[in-house]
Amino acid sequence: MPFQGDMRPYTRKDVLAFPGFRPGVYGLFRDNAPVFIGASGDIKTRVLRHLANDNADITASGPNLWVAEPVTGGQAALDARQKQLVEEYQPVVR
**pLDDT at residue 27 in the model:** 98
**pLDDT at residue 18 in the model:** 94
**pLDDT at residue 94 in the model:** 86
CATH code for the domain defined by 8-89: 3.40.1440.10
**pLDDT at residue 48 in the model:** 97
Residue numbers in the chain where pLDDT is lower than 70: none
* Residue 69: strand, helix, or coil: strand
Question: CB 61: neighbour CB atoms within 10 A?
Answer: 19
Q: In sequence order, what are the residues at sequence separation of 6 or more whose Cβ sits closer than 8 angstroms to the Cβ of residue 91? A: 27, 28, 34, 35, 36, 37
Query: Which pTM was predicted?
Result: 0.96
**pLDDT at residue 35 in the model:** 98
